Structure 1
Amino acid sequence: MHVTFRQLAIFNAVAEKLSFTEAANALHLTQPAVSVQIKRLEDSVGLPLFEQLGKKIFLTGAGKELLHYSRNIFHELDEAGEMFAQMQDISRGTLNVSVATTASSFATRMISAFLKQYPATTVRLDVTNRGTLIRQLENNEKDIVIMGKPPEAMDLVGEAFMDNPLVVIAPPDHPLAGQADIGIQTLQREPFVVREPASGTRAALEKLFSRCQISPAIQVEIADNEAIKEAVAAGLGLSVVSRHTLELDLQAGRLVILDVEHFPIARHWYLAYRRGKRLSPIALAFKALVFEQAPKMAEALSP
């Protein structure tokens, strides 16, 4: 059945007024033009939609059914129009963003700043590991992802917005705590607590160890950054984490940063999304805020 929106709009007008003449006047059309469109619609449906009794017209059974569906169609279109208007209106939109677990400490502050500017906005935030972030990017599930360096094999836009220094951490009573210029070969004798193999932090650490020809023992492997810090504080080994995750731990004296050769490892935080993706107005506004906030955030996180 081939039916156009124009035919349905004309049908609705005739059905509501039960008059071809009044419907034509309301639509600023001629009566013959209205009659032609109703005839074409009846041909498409295969049933008469109106019947004339004397000087009056009435809806047939098929006409009543079509009016029900036609009204629903235009109601859905109106709702879609309202939804699109909300998507264009930053103040009322929804932002879908995912961030790496290691980025959550500063990403939540950026989201807080964003919501202060746009308090009626809804933010759907997912804090997860790198493997899940990559899957979400593959499936185009999120507006924007905040992560370490995006995989080069994927067709992504990755825009670096802030440094992400990786440092060696230890409990404050560790023998190396407070020492200056620790040679990286010293780490060969130390057990390590590390992230899962898919982690960008672990990949950067293994790359450095390989270049320096050392292979410290992996004591514990944990897929959660906070749990890694707890393990280090408990004396299970050293670890390498983003400096940006340590603000509260350093203030509380639970952990210390070791002054080790070749550290910090220089990395960056990125905004990532699928290449060719048309960012919504709200996503563009969040992206602009991230770049605006990044210098102040980096200074606050790395005093």
Structure 2
Amino acid sequence: MFFSGPLVTQPSVSNQVKKLSQALNIELYEVIGKKIYLTHAGEEVVRTGKEIFESINRLDESINNIKCVKSGLLKISVVTTAKYFLPHMLGPFCKLYPEIDVEFKVGNRAQIIERLKANLDDFYIFSDPPEDLDIIRHQFLPNPLAVIASTDNPLSKRKKLRWEDLAGEKFLMREHGSGTNNAIINHLKEHQLKIDKKMVIESNEAIKISVAENMGIAIISAYVLSSSKEDGLKQLRIPTFPIMSYWQIIHLREKRLSLIAQHFLEFVLNKRQDILPMKKIEAHIKKSLQKSS
């Protein structure tokens, strides 16, 4: 079942909004300067409109399921590091349900939290979900954060290091508020460690390249790393590292998951051993832990 209509121009939209405002006998928006702002009544109309469209989408999927057609739209938003493994999950799932459409958004933690608050997607993947929202969490994958340096850095030639040996190094960090940054800050506080010099870079790829160019060292997710020999990177042996965190797939508690969304959640939680290179991931974690001991 599909609902469609002709394209509507901006003047037509303005006309319709004015007619709706007149029909309801209340102002839906106000103009201040050159900007348009919704009134409280206008916000209620928008909220109700979203609910109507969600109901239509659920009806659309219900009809398709009655017809035994496993189709629909799956919407997922993830923080940037999760993009390195999510395609490994989406690929096999889409083969099982070839008729579904997928919207896959990537952003920093603040951007994905805003999407979560606005209820724009079915699922969100974080390593550090927000604590102030009513959400359901499903922990499904380890996310070790390791200290790395360029193979040209003298530190990479040493078999064992203390945190104090890094005192003169510049740390290349993700932006304030990112999941990785939060995990690092909490870990440093817990172990009474500190960083003297740092540079903020809002991209895992840029951090990885910058470390390889010996601009500094970094604490970064193992999922960003591939072969250290190819990338010119080496994991440093530091006590208390790697930091162990976990990836979580979440949704709002009141979210009414579509049938396709329910299937995807079950798929991720029950099939991750088959669809992800878990042996390789677990071997990497084990090796990392051995290095830090």
TM-score w.r.t. length of structure 2: 0.71
**Do 2:58 and 2:258's aligned partners in 1 also have CA atoms closer than 8 Å?**
no
List gaps (5 residues or longer) in structure 2: 1-54, 284-293
Which of the residues 117, 138, 152 maps onto 1:138? 117
Encode CA deviations 1:222-277: one digit per residue, 9 max, x unaligned.
11111111111111111111112212x42624211111111110100001110121
- What is the distance in 1 between the residues matched to 2:192 and 2:57? 62
- What is the distance in 1 between the residues matched to 2:140 and 2:93? 16
Encode CA deviations 1:103-133: one digit per residue, 9 max, x unaligned.
1111111111111111121110001111111
Structure 1 match to 2:263: 285
- What is the distance in 1 between the residues matched to 2:206 and 2:69? 37
Structure 2 match to 1:10: none
Structure 2 match to 1:14: none
- What is the distance in 2 between the residues matched to 1:178 and 1:293? 40
- Which structure is higher in strand share? 2
3-state DSSP class of the match of 2:182? helix
Paired AA for residue 299 in structure 1: K
3-state DSSP class of the match of 1:189? coil
Structure 1 match to 2:130: 151
**Do 1:172 and 1:255's aligned partners in 2 also have CA atoms closer than 8 Å?**
yes
Where in structure 2 are the equivalents of 1:243-262 lying within 5 Å? 243-247=222-226, 249-250=227-228, 252-262=230-240
- What is the distance in 2 between the residues matched to 1:112 and 1:106? 11
**Do 1:105 and 1:244's aligned partners in 2 also have CA atoms closer than 8 Å?**
yes
List gaps (5 residues or longer) in structure 1: 1-76
Structure 2 match to 1:108: 87
Structure 2 match to 1:194: 173
Structure 1 match to 2:64: 86
Which of the residues 271, 275, 290 maps onto 2:253? 275
Where in structure 2 are the equivalents of 1:156-175 lying within 5 Å? 156-175=135-154
Structure 2 match to 1:301: 281
Corresponding position: 1:122 with 2:72? no
- What is the distance in 1 between the residues matched to 2:188 and 2:269? 32
Percent identical residues: 32
**Do 1:219 and 1:236's aligned partners in 2 also have CA atoms closer than 8 Å?**
no
TM-score w.r.t. length of structure 1: 0.68
Decide whether aligned partners of structure 1 residues 79 and 147 sit closer, same or farther in structure 2, where only a CA change above 3 A counts. closer
Where in structure 2 are the equivalents of 1:40-79 lying within 5 Å? none
- What is the distance in 1 between the residues matched to 2:157 and 2:209? 20
Paired AA for residue 143 in structure 1: D
- What is the distance in 1 between the residues matched to 2:229 and 2:221? 16
What is the aligned length? 226
Where in structure 2 are the equivalents of 1:195-274 lying within 5 Å? 195-247=174-226, 249-250=227-228, 252-274=230-252
Paired AA for residue 301 in structure 1: I
Deviation at 1:140, TM superposition (A): 0.9
Structure 2 match to 1:15: none
- What is the distance in 2 between the residues matched to 1:181 and 1:255? 16
3-state DSSP class of the match of 2:248? strand
